[in-house]
Amino acid sequence: MKTREEIRREFPILQQPMNGKRLVYLDSAATSQKPLPVIERIARYYSEENANVHRGVYALAGRATEAFEGAREKVARFIGASSADEIVFTRGTTEGINLVAASLGRRMVGEGDEIVITPMEHHSNLIPWQQLALAKGAVLKYLPLQPDGTIRLEDAEREITERTKIVAVAHVSNVLGTVNPVKEMARIAHRKGALIVVDAAQSVPHMPVDVRDLDCDFLAFSGHKMCGPTGIGVLYGKREWLSQMEPVYYGGEMIEVVELYRSTWKEAPWRFEGGTPNIAGAVGLGAAVDYLTGVGMENVHRWEQELVRYALDRLKEIPEIEIYGPGAGQRAGLVTFNLRGVHPHDVATVLDAEGVAIRAGHHCAQPLMRWLGAAATARASFYLYNTEEDVDALIDALAKAKEFFSHAIG
C-alpha cells in the first residue's frame, strides 16, 4: 500500500508553495484535488479519442463511446449497482437530486402528502424538496436533531408515516460530519411505502458505499469531490423507478422517435442525458474510480478516521475553539469549528497566509447554521492526500490566529 506522502506526490497541485509556505489543502469537502492519472487520462481522451459518442460509425467515435460507456460500468461497480443502466450521468449531486424532484417527485407527490428531510441538509437536498412541497401543497417535515447533531431512528419511525412519499437525507453532513443511518432509514421508509433519496456527495468519495446494501431508491454524488473533474456527477436510481420517470431536458440523443407532433424517449439512463454529454468528464470520473479503487476505499476511510481523531484531539488543546458535531467514531473526515469572538472568514484569512486552506461560511446549510446558533463556521476537511503534518500546520496556524485576534477573544 502507498504511503500518505507517496499519494500526496501524485497530486501536482500540492507540490506548489502557497504564500511562501507548504500548501496544506483542507477543503476537500468542497472539492478534491486531482491525481496525475486522472489529469493524464483526460488529456489522452482529448489527444487520442475525442469524438461525439453514440452517433458516429467511424472508429474514432467508437473509441470515444467505449470510453464513455466504460466509465458508466466502472461507476456501477464502484457503488455496487445491479447494472450500468442504473447510472445516469449528471453535472453533479445538485442536478441529480433536482432530476428526481422534478420528474418522479412531481408525479407522485400530491396535496397533503409528506416529504421528510433533516435540518442538516445541504441546500441542494433541501431547496428542491421545499419547492416541490410548495408547488404541490405537500407537507415538508424535518427530523429533529440531537444536541450533538445526530438523528435518532425513533424519531424517523414517528415522523415517517403512511402519508410520506419521499425521505431525503444526506449520508454524511457536509458541516457536522455526521454519518446518518441511511440503511436503517431506508427500511423505515420502505415499510411506510416511501422512497428514500440519498445525498452521497460526502460519502461516496470517502468510504465504501454499496447501494444494494443500503437499499436506497436514489443516490447522487459528484465527481469533483472524488478526485475527478468538475461538471460530472452521478444519479443512481433503481431501474424500476428510472423506467417510470420522464425526462426534464429534451433534445438530441435522448429520443427514440421524433415525429412532427409527438416523440418517444430512449430507455433509462439515456433518456435523461439529452445533448452532447460531458464525455471527457465521464472519462475522467472513470479514471478517478480506478485511482480510488487502487488505493482501496477501506484504506481511505480508515486513514480519514485516524486523521479526524487526531485533529479533534489537537483542536481541544485550544480552549477558545468550539467544535460542532458528534465525536470521533460518529463522524466522517471533517471538523467544523469556530474561534471564539472571531469571524471564521477572518480566521480563514490568517490561515491562508500560513498556507493552510480551509472553508469558512455557511457551507450552503443556512438552516443548520441557525440551529447551531452561528452565522458561519470554519471547516477543515481531510482526504487521502492529507497527513498528520497537515493537522499540525492547522493547529500552528490557529495558534497564530488566536494571538493575532487576542483583543477580540478576550
Tens digit of pLDDT for each residue in 318-347? 999 999 999 988 899 999 999 999 999 999
Q: What is the mean pLDDT of residues 23-35?
A: 98
The three cell numbers locating residue 185: 432509514
Helices (H), 149-296: 153-159, 182-191, 211-214, 239-242, 279-295
What residue spans in the chain does CATH classification 3.40.640.10 cover? 39-294
Percent of the chain with pLDDT over 90: 95
pLDDT, residue 329, reads: 86
List, for residues 357-402, the tens digit of each pLDDT value. Answer: 999 999 999 999 999 999 999 999 999 999 999 999 999 999 999 9
Closest to 142 (Cα-Cα) out of 132, 162, 156: 156
Q: Is 4-28+297-409 CATH 3.30.980.10?
A: no
CB within 8 Å of 146: residues ≥ 6 apart: 152
What residue spans in the chain does CATH classification 3.90.1150.10 cover? 4-28+297-409
Distances (CA, A) of 355 to 54, 308, 318, 348: 45, 20, 20, 10
Residue for grid cell 507517496: 6
pLDDT, residue 42, reads: 98
E strand map for 275-405: 321-324, 334-339, 356-357, 359-361, 377-381
Q: Across all residues in the chain, what is the average pLDDT?
A: 96
Chain-centroid distance, C-alpha 10: 23
- Residue 217 scores a pLDDT above 90: yes
List, for residues 257-316, the tens digit of each pLDDT value. Answer: 999 999 999 999 999 999 999 999 999 999 999 999 999 999 999 999 999 999 999 999
> For residues 216 and 186, is the Cβ–Cβ distance under 8 A?
yes
Q: What is the mean pLDDT of residues 142-166?
A: 97
Looking at the chain, how many residues does it have?
410
Q: Is 227 a catalytic residue?
A: no
Q: What is the mean pLDDT of residues 168-193?
A: 98
Q: Among the options 364, 369, 374, 409, which is catalytic? A: 364
> For residues 275 and 252, is the Cβ–Cβ distance under 8 A?
yes
> For residues 323 and 335, is the Cβ–Cβ distance under 8 A?
yes
CB within 8 Å of 360: residues ≥ 6 apart: 344, 345, 347, 348, 376, 377, 378, 379
Q: Per-residue confidence at 408, pLDDT binned at 50, 70, 90? A: low
Q: What is the mean pLDDT of residues 166-181?
A: 98
Burial of 269 (0-12, 13-18, 19+ CB in 10 A): buried
Distances (CA, A) of 33 to 30, 54, 79, 228: 10, 31, 21, 8
Sequence letter at residue 196: I
What are the backbone angles phi and psi of residue 130, rounded to the nearest 5°?
-60, -45
List, for residues 54-104, the tens digit of each pLDDT value. Answer: 988 999 999 999 999 999 999 999 999 999 999 999 999 999 999 999 999
> For residues 191 and 160, is the Cβ–Cβ distance under 8 A?
no
Task: Write down the CATH number for the domain with range 39-294.
Answer: 3.40.640.10
- Residue 405 scores a pLDDT above 90: no
Q: What is the mean pLDDT of residues 151-168?
A: 98
pLDDT, residue 261, reads: 96
User: What's the whole-model pTM score?
Assistant: 0.97
pLDDT, residue 4, reads: 87
List, for residues 12-26, the tens digit of each pLDDT value. Answer: 999 999 999 999 999
Query: What are residue 115's DSSP bridge partners?
Result: 140, 166
